Structure 1
Amino acid sequence: MALSPGARVRLAALCAVTALLTVLAQPQASADEPPARTVSGWLPYWDQEGGYADALRHASQLHTVSPFWYQAMAADRIDGHPGAGDTRIIDGLHQAGIKVVPTVMETMGPGVLAEILTDPHSRTTHVETLLTVVRARGYDGIDIDYESIAPTGEDGYLGVRAAYAAFARELCGRLHALGKQCVLTVSPQTADTGRIWDYAALGKAADRVRIMGYDLHWSGGAAGPLASPQWYDDILRHATALIPADRLEMGLPAYGWDWVPGGRTRHVTWKEAEALRLAKGIAYQLDPASQTPHFTYEEDDSVRDVWYQDSLGVAADLPVLRRHGIRNTTLWALGFEDPAVWPVLGRV
């Protein structure tokens, strides 16, 4: 039976009210709720299968994986490490919904990279060489981790700093024209470190600037924590004044160092550090100041001092990241980490 015009109006009104009540009944996100954290990670070529399996286990949390695959040798030469460009790994990560942005690092002799960057012709040649790498495997972009320019002397550092910024603008512009991402990895910048990087210029050029938030104490110095909340606060107060927070990615350590006075410092992953601690029967302890785990043990009549990072240490650092609006993190490196760090990073 056909409804009267009045009945049709009342029915339409009833449907509208029902729809509104249904919407209101749904859980609503708070306008003040921060966006979810993103996690990226470097994949070490020396443990490629372990890192790859780790990435697939945590695919739901991973934004980008950067296989540590390439090394710049000259303006027109980039070599691959063992396993570089493995299409099985690239395809597997893509199928898991993870972007693949390989890292290019370099260990050129003193001044060599600076010469490439400060010469416009050599710089463009190098950009073209990098683009060839990106096109060769259908990568989503590239991550540049060039560190040999960091100790540039007082006389030359301003010129090298400007040249690296020019290189970043040229490379990132060309990548963006191809629809690819440009990621730049830099050392932390504080009052007395990291001066070689023009943070403001790099932040304008790149999609993400990765700050290596580790090695507060490193293999070449005295024993101590690799990171601390206080150090992160210092780094991020400076960085966020120059680079938008959503373009910053804070690098978190998943490893440590095993020092001995006057002897060789050993690199240890979280897994290796914990296995050593348990084998020595040493109780777990956190350093009160840095909130990072550490322990000492005896070997060959010497006392060795181990500092490393785990999920509790990361949990102590995250409030600092939140306070500075940093939601993007990256791990050095996949397969090194405390498995408990993943649920910690999953918290908003």
Structure 2
Amino acid sequence: MIIHVVQRGDSLWSIAQLYRADLQQIILLNQLNNPNILVIGQALVIPEPNKEYVVRQGDTLWNIANRYGIGVQDLAEKNNITNPSLLFIGQMLLLPYYNYVVQPGDSLWEIANRFGTSVSQIAEANNIENTGMIDAGMFLGIPSPQRPVKEINAYITQTQVEGAQEVAALGSHFTYLSPFTYSIKADGTLTDLNDQAVLEAADKNNVSPLLVITNFIQGDFDSDLVATFLRDPDIQDTFIENLLAIINSKGYTGVNFDFEYVYPEDKENYNAFLRKVVSRLRPSGLTVSTALAPKVREDQQGLLYEAHDYKTQGEIVDFVVVMTYEWGWAGGPPLAIAPINNVREVLDYAVTAIPPDKILMGIPLYGRKWEIPWVQGTTAQTVSTQQAIQLAARYGVTIEYNEEYQSPFFQYTDENNQRHEVWFEDARSAQAKYETIEEYGLRGGSYWVLGIPFPQNWPILQRNFKVRKL
């Protein structure tokens, strides 16, 4: 899979010719509504012939496997497909083997180096006994490179039919699904959530659901509510019984606590509560995780940060989600949602306090559009990658790329002479985030939030990692 950034004079046809790629597959993979309109600076993902295949109308796993001379089970396993009858138009499949015709002068060693594999793997795949003897014109199946195995979580707020459809289509990419949200009440009970549809979709894709618990009430995180909860062990005991009842009735495999804006004086109460809940859930094989504000040092000031004890929570829970996004927040001035330099600053601290293999790095799936000059009290509008590109095309502007932030952006003037600035995510920014996960040796990543289309993200994820299924 190749990332191509559109240059002046490019057409989709010329790009397909450049990479010897299938035009229709490029259209499907990028979900291009109008293939005749490209924007200078737009990032496209290009499926590599003989290595990747994009599902079209009428395809089945069997006929795709048959076309490339590979096993259906091999193809399903390579792509985390649990139900071979469930394929989706635009879904990219990695082929477990590349077809290669031996050229005069080739050796297995040279071929293995060229394709990033080993002589022994090629020999085993092709039943070659004498690795020094291959003939020109011989057909070889080259095993595709092994990818690092990572865990991926996805938060979702659309928990009924629409959300279930998205989980069905994208579930092969997730280890965990976290429907948002159940909220605590002052008496130890929880709010309800109509999550049956997404839980069924998760189950069909072998995705482990995490029950998200927050202090989120009436559209905001309530500091007083969580203070009452964390200061009363009896309320906590009632809560744990109610929590277990929901887990057992709905089939959740763990719980994710996202308590935000906790008073600093409740830091030790929060730690003590986590120890209590872990002692009750872990013997039953249930995981406990937390969502942490993006701190850059232990003593960072501010209501969002002070009660989030990185070191202690890292010791207590199974893993954490570090919320490395929202620098470009809706109520602030224009900025990349997750500037990679800021993300790395958080991780530089996080890995000193928490084992890297317990950290899921937060990844945004969305962008924002601001009015400029920015005025305090105004609110930015959330946009998807697709919407951002459509805006750039509509107003005839070039998409720029900030190398420091590793994020695309542009400005435009609308029909009312109002200026706007847009920051969003694309294939390049996604690649930068996955490289960061690998560089820091993290457990994986966590998306906020499903429901905002970002089609280029999924083939980039596939190129970088094999997602662990539990």
Shorter-normalised TM-score: what interval?
0.7 to 0.9
Give distance in 1, aligned partners of 2:386 and 2:443: 26
Instruction: Report whether the alignment pairs 1:85 with 2:188.
Output: no
Instruction: Report whether the alignment pairs 1:174 with 2:174.
Output: no
SS in 2 for 1:289: coil
Alpha-carbon distance, 1:24 to partner? 10
Give distance in 2, aligned partners of 1:239 and 1:70: 27
Instruction: Report whether the alignment pairs 1:103 with 2:222.
Output: no
Give distance in 2, aligned partners of 1:231 and 1:276: 27
The answer to whether the Cα contact below 8 Å between 1:228 and 1:317 also exists between their aligned partners in 2 is no
* Superposition CA RMSD, Å: 2.5
Instruction: Provide structure 1 residue ranges, at least 5 long, that are not aligned to the other structure.
Output: 1-20, 28-32
Specify the alignment match of 1:5 in structure 2.
none
The answer to whether the Cα contact below 8 Å between 1:63 and 1:98 also exists between their aligned partners in 2 is yes
The answer to whether the Cα contact below 8 Å between 2:255 and 2:287 also exists between their aligned partners in 1 is yes
- % of aligned pairs identical? 24
The change in CA–CA distance for 1:22 and 1:282 in structure 2 (over 3 A counts) is closer
Q: Which amino acid aligns with 2:309?
A: D
- Length-normalised TM-score, structure 1: 0.81
Q: How many residues of Structure 1 are paired with residues of Structure 2 in the alignment? A: 312
- Length-normalised TM-score, structure 2: 0.61
SS in 2 for 1:218: coil
SS in 2 for 1:41: strand
The change in CA–CA distance for 1:271 and 1:145 in structure 2 (over 3 A counts) is farther
Q: Which amino acid aligns with 2:229?
A: I
The change in CA–CA distance for 1:279 and 1:173 in structure 2 (over 3 A counts) is farther
Q: Which amino acid aligns with 2:403?
A: P
Specify the alignment match of 1:325 in structure 2.
441
Partner of residue 271 from structure 1, selected from 359, 369, 386: 386
Give distance in 1, aligned partners of 2:439 and 2:458: 20
The answer to whether the Cα contact below 8 Å between 1:310 and 1:337 also exists between their aligned partners in 2 is no
Specify the alignment match of 2:256 in structure 1.
143
The answer to whether the Cα contact below 8 Å between 1:255 and 1:309 also exists between their aligned partners in 2 is yes
Residues 1-348 of structure 1 correspond to what in structure 2 (within 5 A)?
25-26=123-124, 35-45=148-158, 48-81=160-193, 84-86=194-196, 88-108=197-217, 109-149=222-262, 152=263, 157=264, 159-191=265-297, 192=300, 194-260=305-371, 261-262=374-375, 263-299=378-414, 300-346=416-462, 347-348=464-465
The change in CA–CA distance for 1:218 and 1:23 in structure 2 (over 3 A counts) is closer
Instruction: Provide structure 2 residue ranges, at least 5 long, that are not aligned to the other structure.
Output: 1-118, 126-145, 466-470
Specify the alignment match of 1:15 in structure 2.
none
Give distance in 2, aligned partners of 1:166 and 1:305: 45
Q: Which amino acid aligns with 1:250?
A: M
SS in 2 for 1:312: helix
SS in 1 for 2:175: strand
SS in 2 for 1:78: coil
The answer to whether the Cα contact below 8 Å between 1:127 and 1:170 also exists between their aligned partners in 2 is no
Stretch deviating more after TM superposition (243-252 or 90-99): 90-99
The change in CA–CA distance for 1:110 and 1:68 in structure 2 (over 3 A counts) is closer
The answer to whether the Cα contact below 8 Å between 2:395 and 2:413 also exists between their aligned partners in 1 is no
What do residues 157-206 of structure 1 show as CA deviations (whole Å, max 9, x unaligned)?
Answer: 1x311111111111222121222121211111113362321112211222
